[in-house]
């Protein structure tokens, strides 16, 4: 059985994962409307991934005898100045998500909730990968600058970057 403090933190994380999915979805829509088809596909895929994270948490909470709370999702930003702006926002957001997960991990140790601690290790590893991927993309965009040819190639190749990051 989950302690109330751990349950509350997990339900807060469920909301954060849902908000993350919406953020990626809004970014994907923006990128698509700007003609960045590769980037939009990359971001649509990540929106789905964040939703999967939310569902993973919901199922875990319910399996452990808690009640997952499905919250109202916040409306994310809809407009961005550039791809670099998008991925800077992603990195900032993923660092925030990592900090939230780390706080829950600490809480599970305080409550000696080792099953939840063990479950959260997947999220810890996932966040390391999410931050690494965002930093890699930002490094590439920094090299490209505002070169239209470079942005075209980046947009074409971002899918392979994502696949390489997932391995």
The Cα–Cα gap between 145 and 151 comes to 8
- C-alpha distances out from residue 118 to 44, 53, 108, Å: 29, 16, 9
The answer on whether 32 is annotated among ligand-binding residues is no
The answer on whether 94 is annotated among ligand-binding residues is yes
The answer on whether 49 is annotated among ligand-binding residues is no
Tell me the helices (H) and strands (E) count for the chain, helix number first.
Answer: 5, 0
Indicate if the alpha-carbon torsion angle 123, 23, 99, 115 is positive or negative.
negative
Contact criterion met (CB below 8 Å) for 21 and 74: no
The answer on whether 50 is annotated among ligand-binding residues is yes
| Residue 81 per-residue DSSP state | S
The answer on whether 4 is annotated among ligand-binding residues is no
Q: Which residues are annotated as a binding site for Fe cation?
A: 17, 50, 53, 94, 127
Q: Which residues are annotated as a binding site?
A: 17, 50, 53, 94, 127
């Amino acid at each position: 059985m989950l302690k109330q403090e751990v349950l509350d933190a997990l339900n807060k994380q469920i909301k954060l994962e849902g908000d993350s999915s919406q953020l990626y979805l809004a970014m994907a829509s923006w990128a698509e409307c700007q003609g960045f088809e590769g980037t939009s596909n990359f971001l649509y895929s990540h929106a789905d991934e964040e939703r999967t994270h939310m569902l993973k948490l919901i199922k875990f909470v319910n399996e452990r005898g808690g009640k997952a709370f499905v919250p109202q999702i916040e409306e994310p930003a809809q407009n961005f100045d550039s791809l670099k702006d998008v991925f800077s926002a992603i990195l900032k957001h993923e660092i925030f998500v990592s900090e939230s997960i780390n706080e829950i991990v600490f809480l599970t140790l305080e409550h000696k909730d080792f099953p939840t601690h063990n479950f959260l290790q997947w999220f810890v590893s996932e966040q390391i990968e999410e931050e690494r991927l965002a930093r890699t993309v930002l490094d590439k965009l920094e090299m490209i600058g505002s070169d239209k040819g470079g942005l075209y190639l980046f947009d074409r190749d971002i899918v392979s970057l994502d696949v390489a990051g997932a391995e």
